[in-house]
Structure 1
Amino acid sequence: MVLSAFTTDGKFFRGNLHTHSTLSDGCLEPAEVCRRYKAEGYDFISLTDHFIGQYGYPVADTRAFHDDAFTTIPGAELHSGAMQNGELWHILAVGLPHDFTPPHAPGFLPVDNQETGPDLARRAREAGAFVTIAHPHWSGLTLEDARSIDAAHAVEIYNHGCAVGCDREGGGHILDLLLSDGRDLTLIATDDAHFTEPDHFGGWVMVKAEANQPALLLEALKRGDFYSSQGPEIRNVSLTDDAVIVESSAAVAVIVQGHGQAATATHGTSMTRTQVSRARFAASPWMRVTVVDAAGRRAWTNPFRPST
């Protein structure tokens, strides 16, 4: 078995799927946000401003910033209804149509008689968006909350803004519990950049597509033909009966995680082809891989189910 992201036709394009501008609570104009990501070597971004009445329910039109080297996918961060902790839902929708019907979400606080977060996520997916449960740790998401979002494609495993702003970066715990429930989910690393602090250029996706075009990138995201990173490159992942074989840029650790307590790490120096034993995973219906470099930066494969 070989993961499709590393065998399908095309090339990898680097992108950030969670970004804000002055259309909501970011501090840079959309044109400047796009300019900075392009200058940093990104191939694409999705500008995902907060889709609430306070800001006029924006879905940024960034088509004027496309050129031969850089593109954008329309999107927004959706809000409606309360989670169990009483806070407003945050749901990332990449590929959201510009004419998506807004919920009744006047601001950042829940109000009576709102559309629920799960219902809003379903509408976004039905409208063609790639839907992600945003920053579960920062949000205070419970497992019951997470289970209610049945339309999600993905979970944010790393949110750079939450990492630098409040040390609540991750979604791995929620992701793994949902995977063990049998949910079919991928994972993304993002910036959640507002440019009000050093919250940018810290986490991204590497999407395998035949061209750097919004529709092709969006379809690849939905298929799971990507991996996520803070820096390391993952070049191939394959399985034998006994091992997971990972080809990558220089790594000091390659870790395979699975159901429950199943996890195995191989440590070394400048490893570029690493074998991790599958012995701990005989009863695990799913696995995923983390690659760690000497600076402590990580890259993550999407989860995979060896029996399928």
Structure 2
Amino acid sequence: MTDFFSTPGRFYRGNLHTHSTLSDGALEPAEVCRRYRDEGYDFLSLTEHFLGRFGFPIADTSAYRTPGFTTIPGAELHSGAQANGELWHILAVGLPEDFAPAATQEFSAADDQETGPELAARAAGAGAYVSIAHPQWSGLTLDDARSLAAAHSVEAYNHGCAMGADRPDGFHVLEMLLAEGRRLDLIATDDAHFTEPDHFGGWVMVKAAENDPDALMEALKAGTFYSSQGPELHNIVLEDDEIVVESSAVVSMIVQAAGNTAKAVHGLSMTRARMPLHPFAASPWIRVTVIDAAGRRAWSNPIWMG
């Protein structure tokens, strides 16, 4: 039997993609942190646009930590052009304050800039948790995504991109990379600017020993978390030839695998379901989605079989 939520500790709710007036957000950093804290979040990463026009900010939010609420430094990094000519957007949580900026002043790519993959590799080398930001919104190609070899995860749901552009998705890019053997996790975020209803719509639930930046970073890199818009994943267990999923009350539990393979169980106020594993025998990985009666989802990270 394999129990995927057996790591010691408890789950902490956090947003990994947020902006304030230090870049192009509408609210001061203190107010952003207050709103997330009062909304019931346990932690937040303020990830300003790391551009010269904003002074290359890596926000010091330590003053806004309170008992029960902490912050992790980070930034949204930019440098070089994707295949479509647009500037790279790379999410980096846990950046050190002395991280050297790329030569990117504005929201535009130039030939003399460090490439996106080079910048991502530097961030990961400095200890950051790196994610491929909003692939659908960015118009990312599969070759673009492949080139970010340093990434830990794909931003599979971005609430700001959902509300402002109806382009929230990163699941296709994630699954194309999984098919090539890349061991990537997935995150849901807000990308909140507080200029539209782009906040409190997607988050990660990280299981860590304590609500401390170092412990949370360790758990993120270990993949001991899931992502959600509302439902809770309580447990995923592989028992011999079955998968057992336990959650808050939902109407659908779905297991996806490579290609078009997926199986679902539907019902009312379900909190536990089991499915045979043999339909997924040819897939090197599976992942789980649960959907509640309001249509909100929670997603597991990919589970590598064998």
TM-score > 0.5 by shorter chain: yes
Q: Number of aligned residue pairs: give it.
A: 306
- Structure 1 CA distance for aligned equivalents of residues 209 and 143 of structure 2: 38
Instruction: Tell me the equivalent position of 1:297.
Output: 296
Gaps of at least 5 residues in structure 1 are none
1:7 is aligned to 6
Which residue of structure 2 lines up, in the alignment, with residue 194 of structure 1? 193
- The Cα of 1:239 is off from its aligned counterpart by 1.1
Alignment of 1:229-308 (within 5 A): 229-307=228-306
Residue 126 of structure 1: aligned partner: 125
% same residue: 67
RMSD: 0.8
Aligned-pair distance for 1:3?
4.5
C-alpha separation in 1, matches of 2:79 and 2:28: 25
Paired AA for residue 31 in structure 2 = E
TM-score relative to the length of structure 2: 0.99
Cross-structure match for 1:213: 212
Deviations, residues 91-141 of structure 1 (Å, cap 9, x unaligned): 000000010000011110001211000010000000000000000000000
- The aligned runs of 1:154-165 (5 Å cut-off) are 154-165=153-164
Query: How many angstroms does 1:278 deviate by?
Result: 2.0
Q: Is 1:92 paired with 2:64?
A: no
Q: How does 1:6-85 map to 2 (within 5 A)?
A: 6-85=5-84
Asked whether 1:117 is paired with 2:116, we answer yes
Deviation at 1:175, TM superposition (A): 0.3
Q: With the length of structure 1 as denominator, give the TM-score of the two structures.
A: 0.98
Deviation at 1:280, TM superposition (A): 2.0
1:67: Cα distance to partner?
Answer: 1.4
- Structure 2: segments with no counterpart, 5+ residues: none
CA distance in structure 2 between the aligned counterparts of 1:138 and 1:244, rounded to whole angstroms: 34
1:142 paired with 2:149, answer: no
SS at match of 2:269: strand
Tell me how far apart the structure 1 counterparts of residues 80 and 128 of structure 2 sit (CA, whole Å). 19
Which residue in 1 is equivalent to 2:104? 105
Q: Deviations over 1:180-230 (max 9, x none)?
A: 100011100000000000000000000011111000000100000100000
How many angstroms apart in 2 are the aligned matches of 1:112 and 1:80?
A: 10
> Could you report, residue by residue, the CA deviation over 1:150-188 in whole angstroms, capped at 9, with x for unpaired residues?
000000110000001111011000001101100011100
In the alignment, is the contact (CA less than 8 A) between 1:254 and 1:276 conserved in 2? Answer: no
Contact 1:255–1:276 under 8 Å retained in 2: no
Would the aligned equivalents of 1:264 and 1:277 in 2 still touch at CA under 8 Å? no
